Amino acid sequence: MKEIPLNTTQFAALCDFLAVGSILIDPDRRVVFMNETAELLTGIPQKDALGRPCREIFAGYLCDNDCLYERAVSEGRTALAADIHAADADGEPHHLTKVVSPLYDPDGRPLGCLEVFEDHSAFDELLGRVRHESQRMKLILDNMDQGVMTVDRKGYVTFFNTAAETMTRFRRQEVLGKSCARLFGRKRFDDDVTLSGTIEDGETRSREEGTLVTRDGLTLPVRVNYMALNNEAGRIVGGLATFTDLSLVYQLDSAMRDRYTFHDMVGKSPSMQKIFEILPVIAKSDATVLVEGETGTGKDILARVIHAASDRADKPLVKVNCAALPENLLESEMFGYVKGAFTGADKDKSGRFQEADGGAIFLDEIGDLPLALQAKLLTVLEDKEFYPLGGRKTTRVDVRIISATNLGLERQVRERKFREDLFYRLNVMRLELPGLKDRREDLPLLISHILKKLCAKRNIQFDRISEEAMEVLLNHDYPGNIRELENILEHALIICQGPVVERKHLPMSLTKNQRHDPEEPAAGPAPTPDGASLRTSEASHERDRIIANLEKHRWHKGRAAEALGVNRTTLWRKMKKHGISTRGD
């Protein structure tokens, strides 16, 4: 038998620790190794399996007529997975997930394959016993790290565990007895196959990846498993969904690859939604993009998102800060130079445009680019070529240009500080990122998103922000925008050292100028009749009046608060008190 180039001892130990079976197959499809878990799950000792064809040993259990190894090799796949429902030698039913990964030598010849498999039968049996009266089973499910939700045949939620509450931000009492389609329909659970489909046909759907929109409007990447629940007579009585938050996986992937995705930008304000709608189209095009916005609004991240979603994503995105480099160095940094171009130039050096060839270049603070270099940049845009500093031969490049500025380029053009012809070449697709003062309805969403990212980065636990601290955060003007908000929250987490961020944990510069009276509205417009009614009406009518004003003003909380005669923070607190979500309950 041929040797398989894999450290089987270490890998088998890892699989045993995870209760995952692992088997190695040689090119002739004979078993050359089984770990202890594989022996337990199959009931076959390794000594009885070694040297025998895998199909002969595992026929009807792990192997069937569709050989995943053959299919993976023929399709050039690195791995293939399948869910298997089969009976063992004693006739006991099992639900298995099997993954087959072909192994190749340096010349690309197949050396066999690695098979790993996991038995879900015990867990399936546990989930199938969930009933209203089964408190012990519910207690077990409530302590799982995965979010778990069960529904009856009509789609009404019957169980919602603590992990599901944490992930979705829905409280259990808000969800139980409510329609699953209303809470997690197409608008919130972006999956082609829904739980209702599983209840209808009884088929288990495993490892479905999609997105889940939380109660706060935050979009989470999730992995979902769907299965039907049966009673003792075998009749389908409901369904179950388990979902795993993939946010940390996406964040680690972004950090490792230095790439960002649409999950890295959040916002439900009309201005941000407009950007999100056109962003995929812009990203897939090869058009030049100009991003305008105040300092700290996220122009850099937006540029990275555009590049990561483009057809040039596998090529580099090179950043140049036009305001950070001295004018006498900027040209050589951007376009490179040839040997002898100036004193000390003892060899040719490529510039940022050459480094970005085939990919994209991000010109940050483009408004600070000197006029002399603006002419050279215009040549690159028009002719896709330039002269390196001191060079006599042109260099051709294929580069997409994404530029950004916190200065209004149109005003710069009027003041003759920026070339008009270059402005029109850069301004093919323009995106304007609003400051936080213009998208205050996004603050709770951004706070939640940033805190989650910071907690994952620092590996710390966090529960919530107190109402007093949230009041301060919602009423600050944020001249530094998202960057300032990130710094404030990082400061709070460092000082807090606990599960709840209080007002005292925020920077003193933030709290000293804000009053600390959460019950009284801040100074503002005189109360309108609607506001007087809000303060004097009975509690039972308060919720309806708030919803009526929110609907009247198209859920713009600033205008609704003004109409009600209260400040934004008081309205936010009352919405939370009455369980009023972002777009109604």
Residues 6 or more apart whose CB falls under 8 angstroms from that of 539 comprise none
If one counts every other C-beta atom within 10 angstroms of the C-beta of residue 478, the result is 21
CA distance 29 to 11: 20
pLDDT at residue number 190: 39
Looking at the domain 8-119, which fold is it?
A: Beta-Lactamase (3.30.450)
Q: How far apart are CA 178 and CA 530, in angstroms?
A: 31
Contact yes or no for 240/227 (Cβ under 8 A): yes
Distance CA 484, CA 296 (A): 7
Query: What pLDDT sits at residue 257?
Result: 47
Range 86-93, long-range pairs (CB < 8 A, 24+ positions): 86/60, 86/61, 86/62, 87/60, 87/61, 88/42, 88/43, 88/61, 89/43, 92/121, 93/121
The pLDDT value recorded for residue 253 is 47
pLDDT tens-digit map of 31-74:
988 888 788 777 788 888 898 888 888 876 777 667 888 888 88
Task: Characterise 478 by phi-psi region: left (phi > 0), alpha (psi -120 to 50), beta (else).
Answer: left
pLDDT at res. 165:
83
Q: What pLDDT does 426 receive?
A: 93
Q: What is the CATH number of domain 259-434?
A: 3.40.50.300
Task: Determine the Cα–Cα distance for residues 257 and 513; give it in Å rounded to an integer.
Answer: 42
Q: Identify the helix (H) or strand (E) that includes residue 427.
A: none
Please give the Cα distance from 264 to 308 (Å, whole number): 12
For residue 60, what pLDDT is reported? 67
List CB contacts of 107: < 8 A, sequence separation 6 or more.
none
CA 275-281-287 angle, 5° bins: 100
**Hey, what amino acid is at 75?**
E
pLDDT at 422: 93
Helix pair 481-496, 467-475: axis angle to 10 deg: 160
Write out the CATH class of domain 437-511: mainly alpha
- Name the token pair of 362: 């991000």
Domain with CATH 3.40.50.300 in the chain: 259-434
Whole-number pLDDT of residue 124:
57
pLDDT at 196: 76
pLDDT digits (tens, 9 = 90+) for 99-111: 888 888 877 788 8
pLDDT tens string 353-396: 999 999 999 999 999 898 888 988 998 998 899 888 888 888 99
Per the CB < 8 A criterion, the answer to whether 210 and 191 are in contact is yes
Residues of the chain with pLDDT under 50: 1-6, 130-133, 185-193, 252-258, 516-540, 583-585
CATH superfamily, with its number, for domain 128-245: PAS domain (3.30.450.20)
